[in-house]
Amino acid sequence: MKFRFLIFTCSIFLISLYSCTSKEEKAKKIEADKKVRTKEDDKADSLLIAYDPKKGDQWIANFVQNLHKKSGFNGNMLVARKGKILYEKAIGWADYLHRDSLKITSEFELASITKTFTGVAIMQLVETGKLKLTDDVKKFYPNFPYDGITIELLLSHRSGMMNYVYFIDDIWRKEKRNMKKGVSNQEVMEVIASKKPNPYTKPNRLFHYNNSNFMVLGAIIEKVTGQRYSQYMMEHVFKPAGLKNTHVYSTSEYEKIPVDVVGHDRNNFKYSVAQNFLDGPVGDKGIYSTLHDLVLFDKYLKNGRLLSKKSLDSAYVGRNKPVNGHFNYGYGWRMFDGKGMDKVVYHTGWWHGFRHIYIRDLDKDIVVIFLGNLTNGSLMHLDDLFKYLKMPIIRKGAYSGSGSLPGSDED
């Protein structure tokens, strides 16, 4: 009798275990199926990025022309609302030296807008159980010289790390290393482990924006997945979202970056910026994309193709003390929100002759993109556009001190 009861009990346990396993597998299959593209996806995407210049918003057209003439904006821009492009324009030079004009399909180095993509990749790995927000960097890199730095602190710029860009630049110059060959994320991690540069402050003490946070996240993505950052992003982010003109280009993988848009520095076209060893690390920068692909990125974030709503909601929560009451930083996104105001997530970018802003008003379903390849102050003059679109005024006076980087190459 006892033997029969034991068999019965074991059978119930196995059926229950099989049932749970089946549910988990079914859930994983449903999630995987959501990320498989269809012909309907391609058709819908084509309609989304379709634009008839004859029907372009004339007010925005005049604003952009004025921004170009009076403030020197040189680049590509787009405004979309509720799934329709209101206006788009490629204006100026892709490469002033060769007098090549920009095209609406031109790929730009996204600079720090890359961080939004890296944040998505990290949250994907959290969803699949390969990472936890509470994981310490030392779990993946035992020789990492700092204690108490977690994934979450890196995502929200609260690690207290120094900026590797200046540290590596200083070492490479002092030691007369190859200034053309790109350094990889793994090599930067090795240098940090051996040189042990002093941190800026203690972990989780305050918000201190710098590129080290997302360079380390890029390295962790490579360590956890066994893939290069470029491979993971292509397979799990770019392809599922139909981003056909978005790539990761690193000088550690490419001798010459295969794009035609050149960054121009110092407020005029005399200084075109050549890629060097600092264009090797990725995750903090290194993704190249187009206006239309960024519109699609917005779409596939909203419809759950890339991340669950729970993960997105978590990413869009400010993890720092708000500056000026409304400006904050979540997991890879700057944000503007407050009582009775639109929820806006965005990111700026400034690197080696490129300067951008990518804004997503989640409440009004508006996307505003300015990708510039001349680093002047033109993007500080968008207030009238925001007012016209009835959006919050982003950027101007947003940050100060360690949180404000309107005059550096790391925002």
Write down the H helix ranges in 129-205. 151-155, 164-174, 185-195
Residue 410: the pLDDT is: 46
Residue 186 and residue 140 in contact, taking contact as beta carbons nearer than 8 Å = no
Going by C-alpha positions, the residue among 407, 109, 113 that lies closest to residue 273 is: 109
pLDDT per residue over 349-381, tens digit each? Answer: 999 999 999 999 999 999 999 999 999 989 999
Query: Is the residue at 95 inside a domain?
Result: yes
pLDDT per residue over 198-257, tens digit each? Answer: 999 999 999 999 999 999 999 999 999 999 999 999 999 999 999 999 999 999 999 889
Query: Is the residue at 8 inside a domain?
Result: no
d(CA 13, CA 220): 38
- Cα torsion through 303, 131, 280, 299, rounded to 10: 0
Q: 407 pLDDT exceeds 50?
A: no
| Banded pLDDT at 49 (limits 50, 70, 90) | very high
Q: 400 pLDDT exceeds 50?
A: no
Residue 32: the pLDDT is: 59
Residue 18: the pLDDT is: 60
Give me the chain's average pLDDT, please: 90
Residue 30: the pLDDT is: 46
Query: Is the residue at 22 inside a domain?
Result: no
List the strands of the sheet with 287-289, edge to edge. 108-109, 287-289, 247-248
d(CA 321, CA 327): 9
CATH number of the domain that 383 lies in?
3.40.710.10
User: Count of domains in the chain?
Assistant: 1
Q: 23 pLDDT exceeds 70?
A: no
pLDDT per residue over 262-309, tens digit each? Answer: 999 877 788 889 889 999 999 999 999 999 999 999 999 999 999 999
d(CA 121, CA 236): 8
d(CA 284, CA 114): 6
Query: Is the residue at 311 inside a domain?
Result: yes
Query: Is the residue at 20 inside a domain?
Result: no
Residue 327, SS3? Answer: strand
Q: What integer is the mean pLDDT of 314-341?
A: 90
Dihedral sign for Cα 319, 324, 326, 328, please. Answer: negative
Query: Is the residue at 13 inside a domain?
Result: no
Q: 4 pLDDT exceeds 50?
A: yes
Query: Is the residue at 11 inside a domain?
Result: no
User: Which domain, by its residues, includes 241?
Assistant: 34-403
Q: 24 pLDDT exceeds 80?
A: no
Query: Is the residue at 19 inside a domain?
Result: no
